[in-house]
Structure 1
């Protein structure tokens, strides 16, 4: 075996060790995620929304005396797990007379974190409008090109849509918002804001609302470098973080506005 064969053998062994280590780390992370989602799912199934209200013989303001549906639609933007790019879709809210249930349409597939976010959005919307939801059912449906909905970043959008339905209003079709919804109506930061902004602009959104501090977005630029070792040429790929001002980047195409609370978004 000459020295070149020895080097190739060493690289092969190192590559196998690297693959094995990566697989073990990935497997451990997946187990952790599955445990977390199981805990959240159990919490969601056991949780019942309770909002302090006074007894009233009148039906909720958003359902008329004939029991007709009050509804609204809002844009959402998710990150595709297969490409890492933004994907624009919609959330439909329907409110009918019922028993205070919150129903989530799980087609496309909805992960437990999203279901928790939906319930948080209902609480925030009910508190914001002063609405009694104990005599109404709220149904949340997603339309987003087969993408798995897996994170809480649609929480703010869902809360906005529920508020609109409760108040008998509609959300502008050319507006989108990304951000989690937190107790007290605060909007939390999310990942992939740059990719979501690009998708929003391509989807003819004219106003894109983002959490405070995220107008300055980070994206990762792919770069490659060739190195030569013992006569062999290797191409290394790596990603360099870049900061971009979304207001400047989208100037003339789309307004990017920071919001801190649900009150600023509606």
Structure 2
């Protein structure tokens, strides 16, 4: 009898603990007539392991889905407060036709992984499309209408799409041959499918599992916020003073002195540029008075570059040996950049200063690229273009040292342990893979434009840094690439929501990790200084991405943080007023599946125990 009971319990445990979660995901398939919708089945299994993510696709997708799978797994473990390094995750993807792979299944993969980690059932009549961001946000995808139709054919009653993609524009389908805008929600009603926009994995998990996940809640850290304001104010004071002195000098030189070598057109252009400097300097001072110190510094920095260009142009024109003057100017800047590069290289990387060293390295490498471009223009006999690049490169190099100087925490935080940058190689690879798939996906489903070209350039830079062992820089260039690419696909105009997400990420870094997320706070402040919706959204997204980068890096280097945070799971047993989905029906299906698994386990356990007991007798 004891043997029967033992094997019964073992069988039940195996069914519950190691049963796969299967989710159906809408996708697109490329045919001779264009893209058409289809569905794929993905089995997800989690077992004890060492942090690997495996994916098996049949047939092979046109794009690598490995990156989406990695990000999906990472977010799932973060949400569930589990250490991914203790598990292996398997994704088995099956489709009847070849599909276009990429990031669009990322959100669904994350949902299925969370369900598998918690032994939850998946509601079969819910389907979803949307990429997954490292912070748990759901990002834009293409082929919404094709996927919606495929979901309907597959029996979906609910179709989740990324927030901001309710309206899809189709080119050349109106009666006049112009563009037509389709309301996906209304189109879904005609098909009998309820279309719901979701912003994050926290929204999506509810529809699939009837569980509500409540994020960790952190509040502002006054000490760290004050440290940020002091650092940014001190930097703004220095840069504004330099800029104002430079403006007064250049203004006096251009307007009060007789510039013999200037022709009328050039003098007019330089004075117009100086007027723009005056306006921007006033704006920088206004931002400073409003407490936007980072934004004020950025605006003043742009003024300084323009003033350097004007002043150097005057020097060049007044020079008796113009080519020799310009050559010496370039040599002096290049030598100065090399000296600054050595200073930055000798700075020890620690847990508390990696953001400042990252900012310094990024700027010094950019200044190197700019001076290289200046030399090319010099040898191509384009002196004024050479001056433009050299002026920018000179001050970019100076800004690298400014950021390095901000790394002094002035007693706010300990110096921190030394970091071997090689520790960040796996994380850099994940960020690089994610950016590569997103950029490639954009280039396939949308026409080539300047923004996607910028994303591709950033991606190439990320690969270059990775190969050089500059893993921190590779991560930031990867962030740039996927922010550009996703912005090109679509951008979330709900700036209030993005602002809230940025705040939550920043507060989490400060509250959970006791770290000052200076870049994320800078981008957050910069976003607040804009009235333009696009730029507000763009820089809030940067703020979210950089705060998440801090979290990922601190976890990667095993930074000690304060506890696991609060993680609430609430089961919805009945619908409430205003609830979008029919929770009762979904809950019924989930309960039926759970009961079915239980009886299968009981049956297998009894059978196994019976035969073993019979053999022993």
TM range (shorter): 0.5 to 0.7
Aligned-partner SS, 1:141:
strand
Matched, 1:167 2:105: no
Select 1:242's aligned residue among 172, 177, 180: 180
- CA offsets per residue over residues 108-142 of structure 1, 9 Å max, x none? 21455411111000110000111122222110011
User: Which of 41, 55, 60 is the matching residue for 1:90?
Assistant: 41
The corresponding residue for 1:118 is: 69
The residue number in structure 1 matching 2:27 is 78
1:101-112 equivalences in 2 (<5 Å): 101-110=52-61
**Greater strand share, 1 or 2?**
1
The answer to which of 150-159 and 65-74 deviates more is 65-74
Could you say if the C-alpha distance between residues 66 and 109 of structure 1 is closer, same or farther in structure 2, counting changes exceeding 3 Å?
Answer: closer
SS of 1:80's equivalent in the other structure is strand
Partner of 2:107: 156
Distance 1:158-1:205 versus aligned 2 partners, 3 A rule: same
Change (3 A) 1:166 1:111: farther
Contact residue 259 and residue 265 of structure 1 kept, 8 A = yes
Residue 224 of structure 1 and its aligned partner are, at CA, apart by: 10
Deviations 1:78-131 (A, max 9, x none): 111114111012111011222221111032214554111110001100001111
| Alpha-carbon distance change, 169 to 214 in structure 1, aligned in 2, over 3 angstroms | same
Q: Secondary structure at the match of 2:65?
A: helix
Instruction: Tell me the distance in 1 between the aligned counterparts of 2:167 and 2:136.
Output: 22
Shift of 1:157: 0.6
Choose 172-181 or 109-118, whichever is displaced more: 109-118
2:193 counterpart of 1:254: yes
Measure, in 2, the Cα distance between the counterparts of 1:84 and 1:66. 39
Distance in 1 separating the partners of 2:109 and 2:115: 10
Structure 1's unaligned 5+ residue stretches are 1-63, 226-238
| Other-structure match for 2:382 | none
- Runs of 4 or more off by more than 3 Å in structure 1? 64-68, 110-113, 219-225
Instruction: Specify whether residues 74 and 219 from structure 1 end up closer, same or farther in structure 2 by C-alpha distance, changes over 3 A only.
Output: farther
In the other structure, the counterpart of 1:128 is: 79
For the aligned residue pairs, the C-alpha RMSD in angstroms reads: 2.4
Q: Which residue of structure 2 aligns with residue 143 of structure 1?
A: 94
Change (3 A) 1:213 1:250: same
**Aligned positions of 1:1-266 closer than 5 A:** 69-82=18-31, 83-110=34-61, 113-220=64-171, 240-251=178-189, 253-266=192-205
Hey, what does 1:13 align to over in structure 2?
Answer: none
Instruction: Tell me the secondary structure at the aligned position of residue 95 of structure 1.
Output: strand
**Structure 2 vs 1, CA of residues 193 and 106 (structure 1 numbering), >3 Å: closer, same or farther?**
same
- Cα gap change, 1:126 to 1:210, in 2 (>3 Å): same
More helix as a share of residues: 2
Q: What SS does the corresponding residue of 1:154 show, helix, strand or coil?
A: helix
Residues 24-61 of structure 1: CA distance to partner in whole angstroms, max 9, x if unpaired? xxxxxxxxxxxxxxxxxxxxxxxxxxxxxxxxxxxxxx
Distance 1:65 1:107, change over 3 A: closer
Higher relative contact order (CA 8 A, sep 6+): 1
Cα distance in 2 between the residues matched to 1:67 and 1:205: 26
Rg larger for: 2
The 1:164/1:107 distance shift into structure 2, 3 A limit, reads same
Distance 2:203 2:76 in 1: 13
CA 65–84 in structure 1, closer or farther in 2 if over 3 Å, else same: closer
State the alpha-carbon separation in 1 of the partners of residues 126 and 16 from structure 2.
29
Assess if the C-alpha contact under 8 Å between 1:76 and 1:176 holds in 2: yes
TM-fit CA distance, 1:188: 0.4
Please give the alpha-carbon distance, in whole angstroms, between the structure 2 residues aligned to 1:107 and 1:191.
22
SS at match of 1:85: strand
TM-score by length of 1: 0.65
How many correspondences in the alignment?
190
Taking the aligned partners of 1:220 and 1:204, their CA distance within structure 2 comes to: 29
